[in-house]
Amino acid sequence: MSRTDNSGLRALRALRRRLGRWVSGNTDLDAPTRLATHWRDVVPCYLSVQDRDLRIVEANNLFRQDFGQRVGQYCYHVYKGRGSPCPECPVLKTFEDGQIHTGQEIVVTHDGQRAHVLVTSASFLVDHRGRTTAVMEMSTNITQVKTLEQELHQSKQYFQQLFDSVPCYISLQNHDFRIVETNQLFRQDFGDQSGKLCFQAYKGRASVCPDCPVEKTFADGQVHSSEELVVTRDGRRANMIVYSMPVTDEQGKIVSVMEVSTNITEVKHLQHQLAAMGLAVAGMAHRVKNILMGLEGGIFVVNTGMEEDNRGQIDDGWQMVERNVAKISRLVKDLLYCSKERDPSYSAGVSPAQIVRDVHGLYLTRTRQEGIELVLDLREPYQTGTFDPEGIQNMLANLTANAIDACRFDTTPDKAHQIRLSCRQDDTGITMLEVSDNGAGISTEHLEKVFKGFFSTKGTEGTGLGLLVVNKVVEEHKGTVSVRSAPGQGTTFTVSLRSAG
């Protein structure tokens, strides 16, 4: 106790001596003390002088205000409520080497507030052997700075998360369309394109795209948008709606442009589907009108035949009625097939070859009337398997009806038209079905569209549903379908199906 008191006193005396020397020439003898006290109490930090045991011998007003009258108590206890010195204590280090040391600590004021402080310790008193006997500790409260720092860090992180998690492609570009920064989704789908040119990264182009929104934003500082077709790094094409907005510096000068692109491929796809559906509905209405006309015609002819007692006419009219009822039932079947309502009904022991034979039988009269030869080509062995027989029959009926139309619409003079229905099977449960004709053929332009829903070139007769039915049945059987065609030479549809059992 006495030793501590002595060292405290010594410290004060020494301070006085030092300040006395510093203001030498000053005649006011109390001036050094007053100055020291003043200086001590105006600095905006906690000041304390500690002895070798880290006991506080002297403290300034701010210290006393926030930590109370704690002179004589251990520093670590006062600051942190600890029972032993803190690790990495700068004061202890100064006692060791006499040098200035710094550190950051979290302390608790006497009213329980946590404060982040920046600690600087400096040798305060040196004995005759040059040993530091008292250290002045100066702690600056940097809690606010720390809080700001943390907030900044948090908002930075928040921004980064936002930047990376928005379901849009974001890139920052400078004046020559060079990509400065990109978000995660961009990097995922387009690769790390930092430093590359935007038009290269998005489209593999050699020059700026026409009507570039980024260019416009650089020119007028406004938000611009456009629709673009881009290619991802794995070769997928994507429709994008692109927004460009300016990024400015403090002077309001545009330093870069942020480009935000949203993938609207799905929307586009739906839009096309919807447009196609609209056309299809119109086409369907048209087809129904034609069938109605046929039905009314049949009834009219039957009635006239009855009025005139003409048996032949009655028969003709009745055939018309039957034909058109068949047409409408075909249309309804196709429609139902394309809707999702029908589940395939598989059964075991189904013979695809037999189905082909049935379809051949169904269309024999029709093809004969049209002057087309319908050839049945079945290769042994005939296997049976688990298939949806109704689906397969429907699919083959559609393909055969298409083939008949292809022959009917063929304008090549004197061509002997032929349709071949074939079935080959192997013992691994794979069945290859083929419907081949030597009719009009499909142009390359149309060939790309045939499997898309509601596509038809047949005017009043097409619903655009036939190949949708084919596609559906094939998908249900986890099979494949392909088409080969040459205009003027004919078309071959090849379907491969796998037994479900």
Partner 1 sequence: MSKKIMVVDDEQDVRTFLTAILKKAGYETVTAGDGHEALALVKATKVDLITLDLMMPNKTGTDFYRHLIKDKDLSQIPVIIVSGLPGRHLAVKDPAAIFDKPIDPDAFLAAVEQALA
- Residue 480 belongs to what H/E stretch? strand 480-486
Min separation Cβ 293 and partner 1, Å: 4
Interacting stretch for partner 1, rule CB under 8 A, among 95-103, 158-166, 299-307, 416-424? 299-307
Binding mask 450-479 for partner 1 (x = CB under 8 A): --------xxx-------------------
Q: Is 294 one of the binding residues for partner 1 (CB under 8 A)?
A: yes
Q: Which is it for strands 237-248 and 56-59: parallel, antiparallel or unpaired?
A: unpaired
Handedness of CA 441, 447, 451, 452 (dihedral sign): negative
Interacting stretch for partner 1, rule CB under 8 A, among 116-124, 154-162, 223-231, 315-323? 315-323
> Contacting partner 1 (CB under 8 A), which of 318, 346, 382, 409?
409
> Contacting partner 1 (CB under 8 A), which of 339, 411, 428, 444?
411
Interacting stretch for partner 1, rule CB under 8 A, among 23-31, 404-412, 425-433, 481-489? 404-412
Q: Is 389 one of the binding residues for partner 1 (CB under 8 A)?
A: no
Q: Which is nearer to partner 1, 108 or 321 (CB)?
A: 321
Q: Is 487 one of the binding residues for partner 1 (CB under 8 A)?
A: no
Which pair of structure tokens corresponds to residue 313? 């006419």
Q: Which is nearer to partner 1, 17 or 323 (CB)?
A: 323
Rounded Cα gap, residues 328 and 277, in angstroms: 19
DSSP per-residue string spanning 299-349 = HHHHHHHHHTT-HHHHHHHHHHHHHHHHHHHHHHHHHHHHSTTPPP--EEE
One-letter amino acid for residue 263 of the chain = N
Using the structure block, give the residue that is written with the tokens 């404060």. 115
Which pair of structure tokens corresponds to residue 162? 């936002």
Q: Which is nearer to partner 1, 189 or 370 (CB)?
A: 370
Q: Is 298 one of the binding residues for partner 1 (CB under 8 A)?
A: yes
Length of the chain measured in residues: 501
Q: Is 306 one of the binding residues for partner 1 (CB under 8 A)?
A: no
Min separation Cβ 188 and partner 1, Å: 47
Q: Is 406 one of the binding residues for partner 1 (CB under 8 A)?
A: no
Number of H helices, E strands in the chain: 15, 17
Q: Which is nearer to partner 1, 197 or 328 (CB)?
A: 328
Q: Is 323 one of the binding residues for partner 1 (CB under 8 A)?
A: yes
Rounded Cα gap, residues 107 and 451, in angstroms: 74
Min separation Cβ 405 and partner 1, Å: 9
Q: Which is it for strands 373-378 and 385-387: parallel, antiparallel or unpaired?
A: unpaired
Rounded Cα gap, residues 162 and 167, in angstroms: 10
Which pair of structure tokens corresponds to residue 220? 């007028």
Interacting stretch for partner 1, rule CB under 8 A, among 7-15, 266-274, 294-302, 492-500? 294-302
Bridge partners, 74 (sequence order): 55
Min separation Cβ 264 and partner 1, Å: 30
DSSP per-residue string spanning 150-175 = HHHHHHHHHHHHHHHHSSSEEEEE-T
Q: Which SS3 state, helix, strand or coil, does residue 239 take?
A: strand
Which pair of structure tokens corresponds to residue 289? 């009108």
First to last CA, the chain: 97
Q: Is 293 one of the binding residues for partner 1 (CB under 8 A)?
A: yes
Question: Residue count at the site for partner 1 (CB under 8 A)?
Answer: 26
Q: Is 494 one of the binding residues for partner 1 (CB under 8 A)?
A: no
Residues forming contacts to partner 1 in the complex (CB under 8 A) are 282, 286, 289-290, 292-298, 300-301, 304, 313, 316-317, 320, 323-324, 408-409, 411, 458-460
